[in-house]
């Protein structure tokens, strides 16, 4: 597995100081534990580090690589993503529900006039809206969506292992696959180019287990 610069530094720290807690690794790198969590998950899942509750992380001298994690770290999101399911933020909640059915998906990416990602709505967000007194034909979907910057995204060149880690860690069913751009104000904005979902991971899992699947 190709390690990032930060992952390499984490491995060095654990090799020299392990067993060491995530907290202490974060201290040495002057980062927060939350920032390091995805790296530590990836390093543990791929077998570079061993994580033990209440003990911390140790370096695996004789590495027992999980073959599944190894495969997933070689595959790229861009090769497995499905088509984007996108709705304008001005669309009504009613129209978003119709789109959920026409696209046959469990969540929709919401975009602005420039086609850039502003939020995401899941089937449960939409179901919740139908329980109240909200006028589904009048209220725009942007009122109930989970909005930027709280959207967890992935990119075509990210590894499947990284994307799977995000799905699990953030307990969501889908990630918008995005290309990042910088707008006139210097902010990073995201164009939605696809979706990466738990269904794709399940299919991949079946394919890895049985190449004739």
Interface residue list for ligand ADP (CB under 6 A): 106-107, 120-125, 146, 150-152, 172-175
| Nearest approach, Cβ of residue 142 and ligand ADP (Å) | 12
Helix, strand, coil distribution of the chain in percent, nearest 5:
40, 25, 35
In the bound state with ligand ADP, the residue whose beta carbon lies nearer, of 27 and 173, is: 173
In the bound state with ligand ADP, the residue whose beta carbon lies nearer, of 57 and 196, is: 196
CB neighbours (10 Å) of residue 41?
A: 19
| Nearest approach, Cβ of residue 151 and ligand ADP (Å) | 4
Q: Is 172 helix (H, G, I), strand (E, B) or coil?
A: coil
Four-CA torsion 105, 196, 117, 40, nearest 10 degrees:
140
| Nearest approach, Cβ of residue 148 and ligand ADP (Å) | 9
**Do strands 107-111 and 188-197 pair parallel, antiparallel, or not at all (unpaired)?**
unpaired
| Nearest approach, Cβ of residue 175 and ligand ADP (Å) | 5
Rounded CA-CA distance 32/17 in Å is: 18
| Nearest approach, Cβ of residue 138 and ligand ADP (Å) | 21
Residue with tokens 């139908």: 130
| Nearest approach, Cβ of residue 6 and ligand ADP (Å) | 22
Rounded CA-CA distance 118/5 in Å is: 31
What ranges make up the beta strands (E) of 21-91? 49-52, 56-59, 86-88
Q: Can you name the residues that pair with 189 across neighbouring β-strands?
A: 181
In the bound state with ligand ADP, the residue whose beta carbon lies nearer, of 8 and 169, is: 169
In the bound state with ligand ADP, the residue whose beta carbon lies nearer, of 42 and 96, is: 96
In the bound state with ligand ADP, the residue whose beta carbon lies nearer, of 45 and 121, is: 121
Quote the tokens at residue 105. Answer: 């998906």
In the bound state with ligand ADP, the residue whose beta carbon lies nearer, of 50 and 142, is: 142
């Amino acid at each position: 597995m190709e390690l990032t610069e930060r992952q390499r530094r984490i491995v060095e720290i654990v090799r020299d100081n392990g067993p060491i807690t995530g907290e202490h690794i974060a201290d040495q790198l002057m980062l927060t534990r939350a920032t390091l969590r995805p790296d530590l998950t990836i390093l543990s899942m791929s077998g570079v580090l061993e994580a033990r509750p209440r003990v911390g992380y140790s370096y695996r001298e004789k590495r027992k690589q999980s073959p599944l994690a190894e495969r997933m770290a070689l595959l790229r999101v861009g090769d497995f993503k499905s088509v984007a399911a996108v709705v304008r933020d001005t669309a009504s909640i009613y129209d978003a529900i119709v789109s959920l059915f026409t696209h046959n998906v469990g969540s929709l990416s919401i975009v602005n006039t420039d086609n850039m990602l502003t939020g995401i709505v899941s089937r449960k967000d939409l179901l919740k809206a139908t329980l109240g007194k909200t006028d589904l034909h009048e209220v725009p979907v942007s009122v109930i969506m989970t909005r930027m910057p709280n959207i967890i995204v992935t990119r075509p060149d990210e590894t499947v292992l990284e994307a799977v880690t995000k799905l699990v860690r953030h307990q969501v069913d889908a990630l918008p696959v995005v290309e990042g751009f910088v707008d006139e104000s210097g902010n990073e904005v995201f164009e939605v180019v696809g979706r990466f979902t738990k269904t794709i991971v399940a299919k991949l899992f079946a394919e890895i287990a049985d190449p004739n699947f």
